[in-house]
């Protein structure tokens, strides 16, 4: 008889990874959570409906897309993907969460490393309406036997009808596993923190440090701010452990002979040998190994912490790309030219809004440098702008790096200044009719002063360029130009542009000569 051996030793011995986190994505929060908590978890799998996948989500390597068929509930497609995942790769624990919840990866890993997985259990926060179900908003932790029950009896979920996907999945887990939700398991509590309007309120709550999850997230900035907070909490905890171990080493060192001994490993001739010395060395080696492990962990966590405070608060620094596949492309500019990232032509004369933008940034940078020089009593004269770079980030705004050349008593000196033209306010819209959000668009352009006429005309010209470059696009775009308090001659110019666009491209444009304040 020939014995067929497994290809991998882990398969033959039944060794599994400790945890798999299943993230149900619906918005850009999926990308933010993947970039923050993904590197601290053994396995993070993203499940996103295909109609909600944009360019950023599509670039993620751990994405699993699904498409509901007919009248079928999206829950059925999700369970099918989970079945395929659990059939090939098995884990001790499974944590299911939406993308509107932040999970503390450090507390979650400590939780699953200290409890047994060999009995079916559903751990989470009890639902307010039905205490037998776990609330998906707080995340649901299932042991391996519980997940096997869910997969074996997932057909019971076919007849579930619910007003929301979250309630349907909560009911499905309860029906298929026949398990009641618990927030206490083997002397460990499952803590959650509920989000407030201000993150400062959440951070001041003591339980936030021990929470496994925080929900709901209001924006991408919340995900980044929470991750930075828990990184600092984890670093403080590890530093405290190192201090305790260092104190223990100091206390044990009092019992060890001073200086090196010869032969190696034996006490000096002046000290009679005993077994206590040997075990002291063993204990010191063990503590030193623990300190080395904690030091490596600190070094890995430090890579995630932005150098210094970031601006806007809670968002990562512009100089750190999320991964090697999403490295942003900066635009280089001088006082006369700008180099844009376009396939056919990338060098343009600096004019229009770009020229005004560069002039404002250079003026702001000069003001900062000269104010700092005045405080240091340095006499420097501005010579020119040597280099300039800018990058647009939809979360941060426009970031700039400018190199200003100054001449002083000590020769020529270059000052590199980082600036940000922040977005006034951003808001994440969860309840958006995603079927039409990209195909039926209305752009309202308010025009209140004569100085803005040139900018509006350039905007219309840029829109013409977009229409010419995407002839096969089926989007329906309306442009509404609302005007008040502008010179009549300028209004006629814009009106002529609107009429020309309507005739040449069939665009639907509305021109209003008054609008309410």
For residues 410 and 425, give the distance between their C-alpha atoms in angstroms, rounded to a whole number: 44
Q: Cα angle at 307 between 305 and 309, to 5 degrees?
A: 95
- Segment 328-341 shows an average pLDDT of 89
Strands of 394-466 (E only): list them.
Answer: 397-408, 411-422, 440-447
Question: Is 241 within 8 Å of 226 (Cβ atoms)?
Answer: no
Listed residues 305, 325, 345: the one ending a domain: 325
| Position 134 pLDDT exceeds 90 | no
Give the structural domain span for 284: 248-325
Higher pLDDT, residue 359 or 508:
359
User: Is residue 309 very low, low, confident or very high in pLDDT (cuts 50, 70, 90)?
Assistant: very low
- Segment 373-401 shows an average pLDDT of 82
Count up the domains in the chain and report the number. Answer: 4
pLDDT at site 366: 92
Q: Is 478 inside a domain boundary?
A: yes
Do 392 and 454 belong together in one domain? Answer: no
For residues 109 and 398, give the distance between their C-alpha atoms in angstroms, rounded to a whole number: 37
Listed residues 325, 353, 371: the one ending a domain: 325
For residues 382 and 133, give the distance between their C-alpha atoms in angstroms, rounded to a whole number: 68
pLDDT at site 472: 60
For residues 280 and 56, give the distance between their C-alpha atoms in angstroms, rounded to a whole number: 55
Q: Rg for the chain (alpha carbons), in Å?
A: 31
CATH number where 367 lies: 3.10.450
Higher pLDDT, residue 468 or 405:
405
| Position 517 pLDDT exceeds 50 | no
Q: Is 316 inside a domain boundary?
A: yes
CATH number where 161 lies: 3.90.550.50
Do 305 and 354 belong together in one domain? Answer: no
Q: Is 377 inside a domain boundary?
A: yes
pLDDT tens digits for range 48-86: 888 888 777 887 888 888 887 766 778 888 888 888 887
Least confident of 31-45, 196-210, 286-300: 196-210
**Sequence-separated (6 or more) residues with CB below 8 Å from residue 209:** 233
Q: Is 459 inside a domain boundary?
A: yes
Tell me the three-class secondary structure of 269-305, residue by residue: CCCCCCHHHHHHHHHHHHHHHHHHHHHHHHHHHHCCC
For residues 414 and 385, give the distance between their C-alpha atoms in angstroms, rounded to a whole number: 9
The DSSP 8-state label assigned to residue 228 in this structure reads H
Q: Is 472 exposed, middle or buried, given 0-12, 13-18 or 19+ CB atoms closer than 10 A?
A: exposed
Q: Is 380 inside a domain boundary?
A: yes
**Sequence-separated (6 or more) residues with CB below 8 Å from residue 445:** 456, 459, 479, 480, 481, 482
Listed residues 387, 422, 457: the one ending a domain: 422
Residue 308 Rama label (left phi>0; alpha psi -120 to 50; beta): left
User: Is residue 421 very low, low, confident or very high in pLDDT (cuts 50, 70, 90)?
Assistant: confident
Do 159 and 55 belong together in one domain? Answer: yes
Do 417 and 450 belong together in one domain? Answer: no
Do 57 and 177 belong together in one domain? Answer: yes
For residues 504 and 442, give the distance between their C-alpha atoms in angstroms, rounded to a whole number: 19
Residue 66 Rama label (left phi>0; alpha psi -120 to 50; beta): beta
Helices in 153-192 by DSSP H: which ranges?
Answer: 165-177
Do 72 and 146 belong together in one domain? Answer: yes
| Position 308 pLDDT exceeds 60 | no
Question: Is 97 within 8 Å of 22 (Cβ atoms)?
Answer: yes
Three-state secondary-structure class, residue 60: coil
- For the record, the structure tokens of 59 come out as 């670039």
**Sequence-separated (6 or more) residues with CB below 8 Å from residue 371:** none
Q: HSE on the CB side for 180, CA within 13 Å? A: 5
| Position 422 pLDDT exceeds 80 | no
pLDDT tens digits for range 182-230: 887 765 665 565 554 444 444 555 456 677 888 888 777 788 888 888 8
Do 268 and 143 belong together in one domain? Answer: no
pLDDT at site 220: 79
Do 28 and 69 belong together in one domain? Answer: yes
pLDDT at site 401: 92
Do 273 and 150 belong together in one domain? Answer: no
Question: Is 349 within 8 Å of 337 (Cβ atoms)?
Answer: yes
Do 313 and 339 belong together in one domain? Answer: no
Q: Averaging pLDDT over each range in 334-348, 374-388, 435-449, which range is the top one?
A: 334-348
Q: Is 226 inside a domain boundary?
A: no
Q: Cα angle at 147 between 146 and 148, to 5 degrees?
A: 90
Q: Is 164 inside a domain boundary?
A: yes
Do 94 and 162 belong together in one domain? Answer: yes
Do 148 and 287 belong together in one domain? Answer: no
Q: Is 190 inside a domain boundary?
A: yes
């Amino acid at each position: 008889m020939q014995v067929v051996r497994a290809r991998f030793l882990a398969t033959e011995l039944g060794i599994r990874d400790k945890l798999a986190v299943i993230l149900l994505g619906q918005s850009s929060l999926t990308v933010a959570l993947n970039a923050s908590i993904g590197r601290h978890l053994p396995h993070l799998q993203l499940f996103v409906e295909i109609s909600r996948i944009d360019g950023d989500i599509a670039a993620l390597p751990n994405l699993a897309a699904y498409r509901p068929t007919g009248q079928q509930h999206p829950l059925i497609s999700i369970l099918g993907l989970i079945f395929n995942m659990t059939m090939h790769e098995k884990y001790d624990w499974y944590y299911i969460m939406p993308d509107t919840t932040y999970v503390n990866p450090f507390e979650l890993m400590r939780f699953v490393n200290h409890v047994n997985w060999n009995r079916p259990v559903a751990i989470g926060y009890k639902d307010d309406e039905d205490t037998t179900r776990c609330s998906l908003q707080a995340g649901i932790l299932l042991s391996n036997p519980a997940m096997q029950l869910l997969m074996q009896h997932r057909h019971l979920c076919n007849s579930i009808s619910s007003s929301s996907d979250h309630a349907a999945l909560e009911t499905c887990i309860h029906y298929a596993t026949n398990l009641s939700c618990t927030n206490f398991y083997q002397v460990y509590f499952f803590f959650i923190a509920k989000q407030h309007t201000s993150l400062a309120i959440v951070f001041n709550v003591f339980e936030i440090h021990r929470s496994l999850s925080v929900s709901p997230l209001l924006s991408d900035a919340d995900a980044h701010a929470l991750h930075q907070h828990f990184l600092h909490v984890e670093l403080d905890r590890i530093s405290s452990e190192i201090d305790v171990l260092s104190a223990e080493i100091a206390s044990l060192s009092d019992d060890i002979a001073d200086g090196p001994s010869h032969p190696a490993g034996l006490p000096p001739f002046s000290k009679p040998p005993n077994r206590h010395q040997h075990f002291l060395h063993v204990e010191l080696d063990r503590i030193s190994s623990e300190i080395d492990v904690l030091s490596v962990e600190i070094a890995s966590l430090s890579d995630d912490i932005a150098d210094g405070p970031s601006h806007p608060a809670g968002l990562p620094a512009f100089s750190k790309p999320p991964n090697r596949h999403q490295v942003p492309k900066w635009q280089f500019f001088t006082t006369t030219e700008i180099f844009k990232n376009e396939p056919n032509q990338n060098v343009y004369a600096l004019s229009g809004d770009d020229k005004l933008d560069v002039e404002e940034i250079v003026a702001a940078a000069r003001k900062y440098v000269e104010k700092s020089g005045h405080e240091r009593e340095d006499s420097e004269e501005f010579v020119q702008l040597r280099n300039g770079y800018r990058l647009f980030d939809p979360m941060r705004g426009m970031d700039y790096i400018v190199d200003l050349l100054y001449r002083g008593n000590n020769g020529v000196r270059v000052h590199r200044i980082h600036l940000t033209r922040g977005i006034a306010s951003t808001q994440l819209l969860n309840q958006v009719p995603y079927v039409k959000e990209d195909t039926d668009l209305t752009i309202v352009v308010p025009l209140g002063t004569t100085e803005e006429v040139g900018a509006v005309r350039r905007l219309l010209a840029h829109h013409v360029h977009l229409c010419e470059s995407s002839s096969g696009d089926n989007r329906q775009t309306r442009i509404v130009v609302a005007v008040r308090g502008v010179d009549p001659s300028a209004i006629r110019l814009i009106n002529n542009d609107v009429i020309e666009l309507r005739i040449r491209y069939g665009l639907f444009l509305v021109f209003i000569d008054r609008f309410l304040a």
